[in-house]
């Protein structure tokens, strides 16, 4: 079974100054399932890594995608429609499109596991394919 990556876990693994760095690095060392990263999440990872660590850190993530260590997942039109539904259902929480797309992608692919430290924005959604998402690490 695959694991969807939230930007928070990717940034924590890259940034030694991040409070979750050790946990993220250890998790990446032991995880043996395919790792998936949404296209919008990649843009967010790039923005955060460029701001905090510079281009080399961002390019390291790109190299992981090119090497196949992380599989990039593009949103489909159905994902976009479902993300819009999810945003509407959780409107009082002011959810972000990238988070709703992560949940919509999880539904489409049947993925239950999400690697994330910033869990609150994802927890406001109710996925159709599971009672809730399983968060790691």
Give 10-residue mean pLDDT values along the chain (137 residues). 94 96 96 95 95 95 95 96 94 91 95 91 81 86
Strands (E), 1-137: 3-5, 35-38, 70-73, 113-115, 134-136
86: nearest Cα among 98, 105, 100: 100
Tell me the C-alpha distance between 86 and 100, whole Å.
Answer: 6
Q: CB–CB of 57/14 below 8 Å? A: yes
Q: Total structural domains in the chain?
A: 1
Question: What pLDDT is attached to residue 26?
Answer: 97
pLDDT computed for residue 92 by the predictor: 87
pLDDT at position 54 is 95
CATH number at residue 62: 3.40.50.1010
Q: How far is CA 34 from the centre of its chain?
A: 13
Using a 10 angstrom Cβ sphere, with 0-12 exposed, 13-18 middle and 19 or more buried, the burial of residue 64 is: middle
Side-chain-facing half-sphere of 38: CA atoms under 13 Å:
29
Instruction: Supply φ then ψ for residue 129, to 5 degrees.
Output: -90, -5
pTM flag (> 0.85): yes
List the domain range (segments joined by +) for residue 28: 3-136
């Amino acid at each position: 079974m695959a694991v969807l990556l939230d930007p928070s876990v990717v940034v924590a693994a890259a940034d030694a100054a991040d409070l979750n760095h050790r946990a993220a690095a250890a998790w990446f060392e032991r995880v043996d399932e395919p790792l998936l990263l949404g296209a919008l999440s990649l843009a967010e990872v790039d923005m955060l890594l460029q701001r905090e660590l510079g281009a080399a850190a961002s390019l390291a993530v790109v190299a992981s995608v090119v090497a196949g260590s992380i599989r990039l997942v593009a949103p489909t039109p159905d994902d976009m429609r479902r993300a819009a539904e999810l945003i509407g259902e959780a409107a009082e929480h002011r959810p972000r499109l990238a988070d709703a797309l992560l949940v919509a992608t999880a539904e489409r692919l049947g993925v239950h596991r999400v690697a994330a430290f910033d869990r609150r924005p994802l927890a406001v959604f109710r996925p159709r394919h599971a009672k809730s998402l399983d968060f790691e690490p």
